[in-house]
Structure 1
Amino acid sequence: MPLDRKLLVVFLLFFSVLGFSQKSRRTENAQNMKIDSLLLKGAMAMDQANFDEAVNKFKEAESLSQKSQNSSSLAISNQLLGKIYFERGEIEFAGNYILNAIKIHQQLQELNNLGQDYLIYSQILIKTGNSENALPFLENAELIFSNTRDDDSRTLLATTYLYEGNILQELRNDQEALLKYQEALSILQKVKTKNYYLLGRVNLQEGRVNYNLNQFTKSLEFANYAYDISLSNNLPQLEVDALALLSKIYNKIQDYEKAYNNLALYNQKKQIYFGEPNSETKNATIRNALLSSINPRDFDPGKRVQANKITTVLIIALFTILCLLALSLYKNNNLRAKANELLQAKNAELVIAKENAEKASVVKAQFLSTITHELRTPMYAVTGLTHLLLSENPTEEQKKHLDSLKFSGEYLLSLINNILDLNKLEADKVEVEQATFNLRKRVDDVLFALERSAEEKGNKLNLEYDNEIPEQIIGDPLMISQILINLIGNGNKFTRDGNIFIRIKQLSRNETQTYLHFEVEDTGEGISKKKQKDIFQNFTQGSVQINRKFGGTGLGLSIVKRLLTLQKSNIELESTLGKGSKFFFDIKYGLAKSKNNEPEERVYEIDYDALKGRKLLVVEDNKINQMITRKILEKNEMECEVADNGEIAIEKVRFENFDLVLMDIHMPGISGIEATQKIREFNKDVPILALTAVTIDENIDDFYLAGFNDIIPKPYKVEEFFFKIHNALKRKNVIL
């Protein structure tokens, strides 16, 4: 038997004995490895513009994936085939493959790959003249990529914005296109791994849209930047496109010499890059010429013997390599089986740890909810009594002490509210409101509220406000107030005898939206590079020494970060120790259709005379709170009776006539909700207002379903207290 046949028999026997016990597992692993290898080889061939080789590898991978029922690899094969057929201009084939990939990725919920499918399919639609139909696919891709934070996804998100901008520009919606390009540019400048072709292309498109808008100075700036990127990174197509745009711009601004020079350079580069056969074609021609010049008669018998010896040596070497590979596969399978067992054990531990963490989170939320409620109830007594005492003409010395008490009470209430706000944010129970409001007035109110505390520390608040910002915008006024109060208050806390700068400017604007940039900069202590990474976490401050020196809970910046995340924004920080800190962020706001929208600021219109003589029942178990509420009502000449619990309240309403009931929720015995439900069984008309410190566990809708007409949260402003009483009586026609 010839040597090569003997070797082949030995090789086959070796593999059949070695692999029999683990045949099915090895077969599956081998198939998956072969699929991965085919995909890798196809990608390498595609990268080298060897499209025929790439198609063969991807189709082989597709076929093998179907046989082994490997859905994930099947989807990737279809995606790559769609992409390569698109590159070759075979649009119909490309569309079919991408649609298959979309269907499988949707079933597998592989969102990142699905987003890439949407991107490729949108290019196919654009190529076939269906640009408008491509927009929904791009919007879906935008939604997928915007929910991830890694550099690759952010780059894909920037690509999505670029395609959307191109379509909007094609539809002659240049302002909308400009916003998309600005979004893309903002993302690309932040990613660590730069995609210079994409960066150059976005700058080029922004130059084109500015050219269409007759903004020739900006257009020239972006075109030059794109041109510089093309030269630095050897990007021929970008280079010639940038030269063409530069020639148009210079021609428009009547700099004809530069226009001619750029046009000449454009023609020269285009001829160099695209006017001659490429190197691959030349190499193929040379290779074919060499192959055709070989003559079989040039080989003599001696050479044939030498070739046979070489062949035998190669067969032996191949057999040795395959044996080593088989042994390696056998060991790898054993190691993988052990690793799978360890992973299963670790997964079980992680499941238990996850369940324990979820239980701990629930306990923490319940604790915070309870403690904030218990703290807010006595704070009602502190703030209420302080208000009453200040209204009773105290002496100057007494007023000084009462002012200190009021400040301490407000500080403590602010701390309690911060904890409650954080709890609500973590429980996802905060929604972004969409109301029309005046941003300048809102900012002025914040500065007015913080001005005194700034003066006490020798600080000056400096506002730089862009007058181009529309007077009326649509968004959440309370959230921006809370963000600015926390940031300015933070700057004031860590600054003494310095400056705090508040800068607000408009980045861009169209018919429906304005894009605003906010900065709060101080000249205070600054934050070290190490602490900057953790400063936005709950209960985090610069150090223990800073906590003791300046006070505070470390919740303000955490709340700011969460509020901005809800509004699809992100807080950023620049800081140097000893020189100060700058916090900045961008937010999109809607534009009001007209200036006649109702203002969001509430004006309390109360007819106090109509309230005089009205009979109210206060249901409250806390004696101090009873006294405070009663005294506030009687100072306005209203009659007031008190019930210590829900049972007494039910009997009083049953046998006496009251114009309105103020009902506390948390009481011993039956709760305020249960008492209200029982009252509604025999009295549907009397207005009942919930007077309570609402927690995150309480659903506001439950109060109305129980029969309450309105809710007054504790502690409350006296004006809001009387406003809600007045409205409830007016709705029931008790007063006119």
Structure 2
Amino acid sequence: MMKSLIIKFFTCLTLCFISVNLQAQDLSENEKEVIQGKINYNINLAQKNIDFNEFYKAQSDLDEALNLANQINDNKSIGLIYSKIGKIQFIAEEPNEAIKTLVKAVEKQRFAKDNINIAETYKTMGNVYMSKKEYNTALDYFNSAQSLFEKEDLHDYEAETILYKGDAYSELEKHEDAAREYESSLSLSKRYQNNKILSSAYINLGKTKAKLDNLDQAENNVMQGLNIAQKNKYPGVISNAYASLSEIYNKKENYKEANNYLNKHIKLNDSLLKAKRNFLSPEKRLDKLYSNSIEYQKEKEADLEKEASSTWLEKLTTILSIALITILSLLTLSLYKNNNIRLKSNNILHKKNAELTIAMEKAELATKTKANFLSTVTHELRTPLYAVTGLTNMLLEENPKPEQVQHLKSLKFSGDYLLTFINDILQINKIEANKVDIEPEVFNLKKKAENVISALNNSALDNNIQLHLEYDSTLPTNFNADQLKISQILINLIGNSIKFTKDGDIWVRVIKQKQTGDNFELRFEVEDNGIGISEEKQQNMFESFSQGSIQINRKYGGTGLGLSIVKGLIDILKGKIYMKSKLGKGTTFYFEIPMKRSNEIIVEKKANYFNEVDELELSNIKILVVEDNKINQMITKKILNKMKLYCDVVDNGEEAVDKVKTTNYDVVLMDIHMPGISGIEATKIIRTFDKELTIFALTAVTIEDKMQEFEEAGFTDIIPKPFKQEDFEKKLFNALMLSDQNNASNVEQTT
């Protein structure tokens, strides 16, 4: 009885100590930075254990890191941890579990925009599918990984990925393709002095040459790889070299050497497998720990029996003393360890923060450089495009000779295509730079879908396609969401289906997935029965320039950027996109996005400005065109003349300011880039003495990058070049109508 009470008392004291210790840990982990330091420490420790094949230790480190990362919702770390766990599962020959874990990793890494680690995860996915003998799928993942590594200038990893691509081609018995990949890997690893990949590339190239019956070169390649591997002590690579040489000598009918290398391979391979099993299975170590604990328990029982002769008071005093000393010692040790961890974490954090600051500065500089480059290039492209599209439209309207019409239409198509391409590049740049904001407004979703289909119907009829809309009858029609982005997504997806379908049908469906109050999750589907997409090309469909091939691009048109834009916009709307397709059977794209129902009544806006044009006395309208490019001056002037409007033209900002001071203009069309003072500076000067004048920025610069600057300068609105004539006319006539109404109001007040 007394023994039981003593044990319970000791247990209670121990639990008290554990509780105190946990509370101390909680207090030390309240600071997010300290937790992040511990996460980084555990991930680094896990990687070291992986490097030394201590996989069960690495798993323990990663489990602890994952628990901490979930506490602070650190997606980047969670993605990295899942990626490493997936790699361990792959090594442990659990491919299906590895795939599930790696898919989780990619989801988190995409959310964190961690391209470098996405590439590493893709590479591991490729290796998993190689182990499952799904070589085409493996190739898709290796291609994706290579593309990202190349983009990030991580050439060591790129060389390794190319090596794995060679392995996939080899398994598919595409030996010429395999040899090409091995040679590419060999070249890269030589350049960046990655001896492990270099040795493997030599050996695998040799194996491939042997399959192509070039035995002398095969032997030479494998020997080169073996020498590098032996020099650097790569046992796995050495074993591969032995096996390869055995096969080569067997083909050369040198059976003695073949048998010699085969024995070396078997001996080394058995040793490696044994080591792997030991590292992967900690049972033996656990058995040892268990047996030790039994011996310890027996010793404790013997001690207790010896002490049974002493009085219960002496025993209680002794045990309580030991318990107290133990608790004090453990508390001291705990505080010491916590202080050490804090110091180490702070040191790691300080170092990481310094590295992070440098990396962020470099990233910001790279982003600014890229933005400036794109702004400059697009301006230089838009300026001549303004001339191309403007002159082409004029020539088409001026009764050209019949034999010239087709040439002019081709020129117009090329100009429109190039403009679309430029706009797509800018859109992707905005998405990648996180410069796209959600702009919700109340709209009729069903009508929006009908309008998109109506706008694309002529293109569909050209390919003898019928468009069908199926709108879920259980859905409301009015929602509060970003209708422009939804329209753009639908236009891209339906337009894509039209391009790849002939004499068929396209179904557009809007379906309710689930509802909580006014919050809905909607599923949009765009299904066609066109040419379909092969499994090999489906993996990269949402990446830029991935239509599949130059031939497809030429035959069906398009820039290859539409689906990449769609993916980016859906991510911004917090949605997901999927696809299914079968070659020759058609394709279905479906995406799910959250939307909120609105009970607000929508007032239809009527575009009646053309009917009101006749009410204006156009002969009294005075317009000033400020443009330094002579061709653009002529085009703008002709467009205005066609609209029965006349204008003055100046070619610099200084003259524009002088003209506005001396002449009462209704509208100024101001270019931005000009010699002398820019259009922005000229507008600022004009606003010092005329606050009401309508000034349009007629510009070829990237509007989004300059919007704040335009607003601060005092522009009324912006007309990007090259523009659609109807958009130009609409903005101009709206400004003129407003000016006319203001003048009438002033006359009434004067009267």
TM-score by length of 1: 0.53
Q: Do the aligned partners of 1:368 and 1:420 also contact (CA within 8 Å) in 2?
A: yes
Superposition pairs of residues 635-650 of structure 1, within 5 angstroms: 635-650=642-657
Q: Do the aligned partners of 2:375 and 2:701 also contact (CA within 8 Å) in 1?
A: no
Q: 1:617 aligns with which of 610, 624, 642?
A: 624
Could you say if the C-alpha distance between residues 603 and 426 of structure 1 is closer, same or farther in structure 2, counting changes exceeding 3 Å? farther
Q: Secondary structure at the match of 2:576?
A: coil
Residue 449 (structure 2) pairs with residue 449 (structure 1): no
Alignment-mate amino acid for residue 589 of structure 1: M
How far 1:347 sits from its partner (Å)? 9.8
Q: 1:436 aligns with which of 438, 442, 448?
A: 442
Counterpart of 1:630 in structure 2 is 637
Could you say if the C-alpha distance between residues 149 and 481 of structure 1 is closer, same or farther in structure 2, counting changes exceeding 3 Å? farther
Q: 1:667 aligns with which of 661, 667, 674?
A: 674
Structure 1: runs of 5+ lacking an equivalent = 1-50, 77-108, 116-143, 154-189, 196-294, 301-339
Residue 487 (structure 2) pairs with residue 481 (structure 1): yes
**Alpha-carbon distance between aligned partners in 2 of 1:693 and 1:54, rounded to the nearest angstrom:** 75
How far 1:625 sits from its partner (Å)? 1.7
Q: Secondary structure at the match of 1:698?
A: helix
Q: Do the aligned partners of 1:606 and 1:723 also contact (CA within 8 Å) in 2?
A: no
Q: 1:41-77: CA deviations, max 9, x gaps?
A: xxxxxxxxxx98995674154267489x56679999x
Q: 1:513-552: CA deviations, max 9, x gaps?
A: 4432101223344444454333222233334554455453
Identity %: 49
Counterpart of 1:708 in structure 2 is 715
Residue 659 (structure 2) pairs with residue 652 (structure 1): yes
**Alpha-carbon distance between aligned partners in 2 of 1:358 and 1:404, rounded to the nearest angstrom:** 41
How far 1:363 sits from its partner (Å)? 2.0
Q: Do the aligned partners of 2:575 and 2:592 also contact (CA within 8 Å) in 1?
A: yes
Q: 1:608 aligns with which of 613, 632, 642?
A: 613
Q: Do the aligned partners of 2:69 and 2:78 also contact (CA within 8 Å) in 1?
A: no
Residue 64 (structure 2) pairs with residue 59 (structure 1): no
Q: 1:83-125: CA deviations, max 9, x gaps?
A: xxxxxxxxxxxxxxxxxxxxxxxxxx9773157xxxxxxxxxx
**Alpha-carbon distance between aligned partners in 2 of 1:376 and 1:499, rounded to the nearest angstrom:** 37
**Alpha-carbon distance between aligned partners in 2 of 1:52 and 1:194, rounded to the nearest angstrom:** 45
Residue 57 (structure 2) pairs with residue 113 (structure 1): no
Could you say if the C-alpha distance between residues 74 and 724 of structure 1 is closer, same or farther in structure 2, counting changes exceeding 3 Å? closer
How far 1:574 sits from its partner (Å)? 2.0
Which one scores higher on RCO, CA 8 angstroms, separation ≥ 6?
Answer: 2
Q: 1:493 aligns with which of 499, 513, 518?
A: 499
Q: 1:148-195: CA deviations, max 9, x gaps?
A: 879999xxxxxxxxxxxxxxxxxxxxxxxxxxxxxxxxxxxx977999
**Alpha-carbon distance between aligned partners in 1 of 2:685 and 2:519, rounded to the nearest angstrom:** 50
Structure 2: runs of 5+ lacking an equivalent = 1-10, 36-66, 84-98, 105-300, 307-345, 746-751
Q: Do the aligned partners of 1:434 and 1:476 also contact (CA within 8 Å) in 2?
A: yes
Residue 558 (structure 2) pairs with residue 598 (structure 1): no
Residue 419 (structure 2) pairs with residue 413 (structure 1): yes
Alignment-mate amino acid for residue 722 of structure 1: E
Could you say if the C-alpha distance between residues 568 and 150 of structure 1 is closer, same or farther in structure 2, counting changes exceeding 3 Å? farther
Q: Secondary structure at the match of 2:455?
A: helix
Alignment-mate amino acid for residue 424 of structure 2: N
Alignment-mate amino acid for residue 19 of structure 2: K
Alignment-mate amino acid for residue 612 of structure 1: L
Superposition pairs of residues 61-100 of structure 1, within 5 angstroms: 61-62=21-22, 65=25
**Alpha-carbon distance between aligned partners in 2 of 1:54 and 1:477, rounded to the nearest angstrom:** 62
How far 1:388 sits from its partner (Å)? 3.3
Q: Do the aligned partners of 1:369 and 1:697 also contact (CA within 8 Å) in 2?
A: no
Q: Do the aligned partners of 1:437 and 1:600 also contact (CA within 8 Å) in 2?
A: no
Could you say if the C-alpha distance between residues 699 and 500 of structure 1 is closer, same or farther in structure 2, counting changes exceeding 3 Å? same
How far 1:619 sits from its partner (Å)? 0.5
Q: Do the aligned partners of 1:665 and 1:672 also contact (CA within 8 Å) in 2?
A: yes
**Alpha-carbon distance between aligned partners in 1 of 2:592 and 2:664, rounded to the nearest angstrom:** 56
Alignment-mate amino acid for residue 598 of structure 1: V
How far 1:643 sits from its partner (Å)? 0.5
Q: Do the aligned partners of 2:376 and 2:701 also contact (CA within 8 Å) in 1?
A: no
Superposition pairs of residues 494-643 of structure 1, within 5 angstroms: 494-509=500-515, 512-543=518-549, 546-547=552-553, 549-595=555-601, 597-599=602-604, 604=609, 607-609=612-614, 610-613=616-619, 614-643=621-650
Superposition pairs of residues 139-154 of structure 1, within 5 angstroms: none
How far 1:697 sits from its partner (Å)? 5.9
**Alpha-carbon distance between aligned partners in 1 of 2:711 and 2:671, rounded to the nearest angstrom:** 14
Q: 2:467 aligns with which of 431, 449, 461?
A: 461
Counterpart of 1:726 in structure 2 is 733
TM-score by length of 2: 0.52
**Alpha-carbon distance between aligned partners in 1 of 2:32 and 2:13, rounded to the nearest angstrom:** 19
Superposition pairs of residues 284-363 of structure 1, within 5 angstroms: 355-363=361-369
The more displaced of 640-649 and 497-506 is: 497-506
Q: Do the aligned partners of 2:511 and 2:522 also contact (CA within 8 Å) in 1?
A: yes
Q: 1:671-720: CA deviations, max 9, x gaps?
A: 10111112223333332221113415633232232122222222333333
**Alpha-carbon distance between aligned partners in 1 of 2:510 and 2:544, rounded to the nearest angstrom:** 27
Residue 691 (structure 2) pairs with residue 691 (structure 1): no
Aligned residues: 450
**Alpha-carbon distance between aligned partners in 2 of 1:74 and 1:661, rounded to the nearest angstrom:** 55
Q: Do the aligned partners of 1:709 and 1:728 also contact (CA within 8 Å) in 2?
A: no
Q: Do the aligned partners of 2:529 and 2:586 also contact (CA within 8 Å) in 1?
A: yes
**Alpha-carbon distance between aligned partners in 2 of 1:591 and 1:706, rounded to the nearest angstrom:** 39
Q: Secondary structure at the match of 1:662?
A: strand
Residue 384 (structure 2) pairs with residue 378 (structure 1): yes
Q: Do the aligned partners of 2:471 and 2:511 also contact (CA within 8 Å) in 1?
A: yes
Alignment-mate amino acid for residue 682 of structure 2: A
**Alpha-carbon distance between aligned partners in 2 of 1:464 and 1:432, rounded to the nearest angstrom:** 26
How far 1:147 sits from its partner (Å)? 12
How far 1:605 sits from its partner (Å)? 5.4
Q: 1:419-463: CA deviations, max 9, x gaps?
A: 111122222222122122232333233333333433444544333
